[in-house]
Amino acid sequence: FELARKRGNRVCSMEKANVMESGVLWREVVQKVHDADYPDVELSHMYADAGAMQLCRWPKQFDVIVTDNLFGDLLSDAAAMLTGSLGMLPSASLGLPMANGRPKALYEPVHGSAPDIAGQGKANPIACILSFAMALRYSFDQGAEATRLEKAVEQVLADGLRTADLLGEDGVTPVSTTQMGDAIVAALDASL
């Protein structure tokens, strides 16, 4: 709910309350937390399987989705393919704020560390870079810097650079992990 307040002020909670008792409990707890502390945030509930379909059908209807780890893993992988690759999707696991007001947080690419392609120069660094942008925005209150970094990624993609996971056009030569990262840094520097 705190995250939604910094975004579009909407939360969709996903579970399987129709077939799982844990889903019934999840829905009840999310609703109680909403009603007690966040009545200003729009809350909706959706079954996770319908949510997966809606995420593929019309992703812009969602702002913040809250779910458990099992459904979160499934939904985030489905969402990654909306961008063309798991290598494009950042993620954040956000906990309660600490004494300094910052959330306990872990930022990482949805795909994790991708050890199967480590050291080969073919990993897409964009999810990692965008995870850092999320850290800037949500842990360090540096939204302007996060936006600058996101726009640098957008610029490099608009310029046609692609790592191997994003190739779809014949005749396009993939760039390496380092080349993609260097291009993003150059675009970031150019935005100063």
Q: Which of 32, 140, 51 lies closest to 92, judged by CA?
A: 140
The C-alpha atoms of residue 3 and residue 14 are separated, in whole angstroms, by 16
Cβ atoms of residues 42 and 51 within 8 Å: no
Average pLDDT over residues 146-151: 97
pLDDT interval class at 117 (50, 70, 90): confident
Considering 36-45, 113-122, 134-143, the range whose residues carry the highest mean pLDDT is: 36-45
| ∠ CA 151-155-157, rounded to 5° | 115
Helix (H, G, I), strand (E, B) or coil at 173: coil
pLDDT (average), residues 52-72:
93
Both tokens of 111, joined, read 């795909």
CA 68 – CA 74 distance, rounded (Å): 10
d(CA 189, CA 146): 14
**Phi/psi class of residue 160: alpha, beta or left (left: φ > 0; alpha: ψ in -120 to 50)?**
left
According to the model, what pLDDT value does residue 144 have? 96
Of the ranges 29-33, 146-150, 171-175, which one carries the lowest mean pLDDT score? 171-175
Say if residues 125 and 174 touch (Cβ distance below 8 Å): no
* pLDDT value, residue 169: 66
Backbone angles phi, psi at 122, to 5 degrees: -115, 5
The per-residue pLDDT for 92 is: 86
The average confidence (pLDDT) of the chain is 92
Task: Give the pLDDT confidence score for residue 55 in this predicted structure.
Answer: 93
* DSSP per position, 21-88: HHHHHHHHHHHHHHHHH-TTSEEEEEEHHHHHHHHHH-GGG-SEEE--HHHHHHHHHHHHHHTTSGGG
Q: What's at 42, amino acid-wise?
A: E
pLDDT, tens digit (0-9, with 9 covering 90-100), for 72-93: 889 988 887 788 888 898 988 8
Three-state SS for 64? strand
Region 129-153 average pLDDT: 95
